[in-house]
Amino acid sequence: MKITNAAAAAVLITFVFAILYYGKDLLIPMVLATFIWYLINILADFIASARFGRFRIPRWLCFILALIIIFGSLHLIITLVSTSINNVIRAAPAYQENINGLMDRIGEWLKLDESPQLNQLMHRINLTRTIQGLGLTLAGFISSTGLILIYTLFIFLEQKCFLPKIDKMMGGETQRTKVRRILRRIYDDTKTYIGIKTLTSLMTSIISYIIMKGVGLDFAIFWALVIFLFNYIPTIGSIVATFFPSVLALVQFPSLGPFLVIVIGVTGTQVLVGNIVEPRLMGNTLNLSPLVILLSLGLWGSIWGIPGAILCVPITVVMGIIFSNFESTRAFAILLSRDGSIRTEEG
């Protein structure tokens, strides 16, 4: 019986991952729409908490203001990225020539000029191709924006019907209460993570923009947007986001001064916000093992690419909450947790 159950579980897991991979063109916009839905709710809650004497903004007006701000921000980001991508790609060949000249100087300094190893290294460094790949990735986000916004609007239209539908699906009051508590915890924990991550990513990108603009780096606003988006990717996102403007500074300026300012300034900002500010704001909300986060990053990144890497932590949080509330999967929730302690939602 155990062998049969294990085989059935293996087949089910394979089937689920096949759907996730081959259905990603449909699933990714839906999941990103849910992400934006969370952002709008977070902003609406923040606006609703503001008081002007005895006056409080009505809830419906809070949602309208949140919708305007989020959609306006998306429009601004799309406009900036669309304009910047073409400019960055056009400038990439000139940067490539600077890289080649830099490699020549390094080779002469190390007396490796004309060596096979240096030629191979120079052949592998293709900034044009790398920037074009980054541009295509961001362009992919832009191309699906319309579908994502449509999904977001329909999620809002269905928002009031979620719980009544779930209540009718459940049998008894005990089970209904438990499911409501699970959904409430999923909503609260995911909202907390997305809200804090958005705030810290915005802080990091603004400070980084000031540093890059201060030294005169080309396309500073574009790289600030890249830093903002990539900071949602745990562990490696901040490293990759810092790498691009640092390399650009190395090839744009004749001296090492601006390069060192950007490397030290942006890296210091990432460390300060990511290791001090964010943990203090986040607290013990996630309770996920760092190793699990890294493995989740690799798994979802391989299935859904950059969107999967951005969404890997919220997805793992949801899985951990669901696993912790069922006896048969509780062991998996313990493995996902940081310290082995889990919380169940008993009805």
What pLDDT, on the 0 to 100 scale, is given for residue 204? 93
pLDDT tens by residue, 135-162? 666 666 666 777 788 888 888 888 777 7
Residue 206 has pLDDT above 90, yes or no: yes
Higher pLDDT, 341 or 241: 241
> pLDDT averaged over the chain?
79
Mean pLDDT of 104-123: 54
In a domain, 12, yes or no: no
What is the 3-class SS of 97-155, one letter each residue?
HHHHHHHHHHHHHCCCCCCHHHHHHHHHCCHHHHHHHHHHHHHHHHHCHHHHHHHHHHH
What pLDDT, on the 0 to 100 scale, is given for residue 262? 92
Give the total number of structural domains in the chain.
Answer: 2
Q: Do 30 and 145 belong to one domain?
A: yes
Q: Do 241 and 276 belong to one domain?
A: yes
Q: Do 152 and 197 belong to one domain?
A: no
E strand or H helix at 229, and its extent? helix 220-230
In a domain, 294, yes or no: yes
Share of the chain above pLDDT 70, in %: 79
Q: Which of 118, 134, 169 is the last residue of a domain?
A: 169
Q: Confirm if 187 and 155 have CB atoms less than 8 A apart.
A: no
Q: Confirm if 269 and 245 have CB atoms less than 8 A apart.
A: no
> Which residue range(s) make up the domain with 121?
23-169
Q: If you count DSSP H runs as helices and E runs as strands, how many of each does the chain have, helices first?
A: 15, 2
Chain position carrying tokens 């009031």? 160
In a domain, 101, yes or no: yes
Q: Do 163 and 182 belong to one domain?
A: no
Residue 41 Rama label (left phi>0; alpha psi -120 to 50; beta): alpha
What pLDDT, on the 0 to 100 scale, is given for residue 265? 92
Mean pLDDT of 204-209: 93
User: What DSSP state is assigned to residue 277?
Assistant: I
Q: Do 127 and 217 belong to one domain?
A: no
What pLDDT, on the 0 to 100 scale, is given for residue 314? 87
In a domain, 334, yes or no: yes
In a domain, 241, yes or no: yes
pLDDT tens by residue, 282-299? 766 677 888 888 888 888
Mean pLDDT of 240-254: 82
Residue 67 to residue 48: CA distance in whole angstroms = 13
Residue 17 to residue 233: CA distance in whole angstroms = 21
Q: Which two tokens stand for residue 269?
A: 């900002």
pLDDT tens by residue, 25-80? 888 888 888 888 888 888 888 888 877 777 788 888 888 888 888 888 877 877 77
Q: Do 165 and 241 belong to one domain?
A: no
Q: Do 190 and 159 belong to one domain?
A: no
Q: Do 281 and 343 belong to one domain?
A: yes
What pLDDT, on the 0 to 100 scale, is given for residue 122? 47
Q: Which of 169, 204, 222 is the last residue of a domain?
A: 169
Q: Do 107 and 214 belong to one domain?
A: no
What pLDDT, on the 0 to 100 scale, is given for residue 105? 63
pLDDT tens by residue, 90-100? 766 666 666 66
Q: Do 165 and 192 belong to one domain?
A: no
Q: Which of 143, 169, 195 is the last residue of a domain?
A: 169
In a domain, 299, yes or no: yes
What pLDDT, on the 0 to 100 scale, is given for residue 146? 76
pLDDT tens by residue, 295-330? 888 888 888 888 888 888 888 888 888 888 877 788
In a domain, 293, yes or no: yes
Radius of gyration of the chain (CA): 24
What pLDDT, on the 0 to 100 scale, is given for residue 130? 61
Q: Do 194 and 323 belong to one domain?
A: yes
Q: Do 148 and 188 belong to one domain?
A: no
How many other C-beta atoms can be found within 10 angstroms of the C-beta atom of residue 325?
20
In a domain, 15, yes or no: no
Residue 188 has pLDDT above 60, yes or no: yes
Chain position carrying tokens 């924990």? 189
